[in-house]
Structure 1
Amino acid sequence: MSIHNQGAEMAGFVQIIEYRTSKPDEVAALMEEFRAKREAEGSGPAPVRGTSCADRDEPGRYFSIIEFNSYEEAMENSQRPDTTEMSERMMALCDGPGTFYNLDVQNRMEFG
């Protein structure tokens, strides 16, 4: 195991979106559509990595963990019209409003 302090080789900012939905397949398809479109455009700030998780202990609750190189890139990404559109479409598929967490990465442990 090793612990890496924040550095240029890893994302320095993470956004977590906690949400509830009875339409997880539609949310996943929307996120894939957004990823493919953003990758094809290849311009402007974009997430480094995205992970979607389902809560095993509370069915219907999900988390999206989105990593960015920096807080600044995340905020610039949030201001893009396509991000706003995707967020609005995602929230329309959710059962109530999402909860957003903005987190600075302090360190990362690598196992193995």
Structure 2
Amino acid sequence: MAGFVQIIEYRTSKPDEVAALLEDFRAKREAEGDGPAPTRGITCADRDEPGRYFAIVEFESYEAAMENSQRADTTEMSEKMMALCDGPGAFYNLDKIASME
């Protein structure tokens, strides 16, 4: 099973602003319909640590994820998101080996 998953762990006291930024990015990217894009994404809030969040983004391949990461709009969105965070984020790059639905 091919695939690649990136997990972004971050802390913010402005979750609504981060959510609005991510939704705006998703809508613009979907409207453009060009270039690599995630196949799926979810955002999760940590129940045990308020203010801690995870964005889980799935891609068809590592190469598609890296191409996506180098896009100007991705860089701009990431910079805006990190400005809304309470400190730096942590990134985890994972090869998908199994999936359950």
| TM-score, normalised via structure 2 length | 0.98
Q: In the alignment, what sits opposite 1:30?
A: 21
Q: What letter is aligned with 1:67?
A: E
Q: In the alignment, what sits opposite 1:16?
A: 7
CA distance, structure 2, for counterparts of residue 109 and residue 39 of structure 1: 26
Structure 1 gap ranges (5+) = 1-5
CA distance, structure 2, for counterparts of residue 109 and residue 52 of structure 1: 18
Structure 2 gap ranges (5+) = none
Alignment of 1:32-111 (within 5 A): 32-110=23-101
Q: What letter is aligned with 1:30?
A: L
Structure 1 moving runs of 4+ over 6 Å: none
CA displacement, residues 22-79 of structure 1 (integer Å, 9 cap, x when unaligned): 0000000000000000000000000011100000000000000000000000000000
Question: Alpha carbon RMSD of aligned pairs, Å?
Answer: 0.7
Work out the percentage of aligned pairs sharing the same amino acid. Answer: 81
CA distance, structure 1, for counterparts of residue 99 and residue 73 of structure 2: 30
Bigger fraction of residues in strand: 1
Aligned residues: 101
Bigger Cα Rg: 1
Q: Alpha-carbon deviation of 1:19?
A: 0.2
Q: What letter is aligned with 2:98?
A: N
CA displacement, residues 61-109 of structure 1 (integer Å, 9 cap, x when unaligned): 0000000000000000000000000000000000000000000001112
CA distance, structure 1, for counterparts of residue 21 and residue 58 of structure 2: 18
Q: In the alignment, what sits opposite 1:3?
A: none
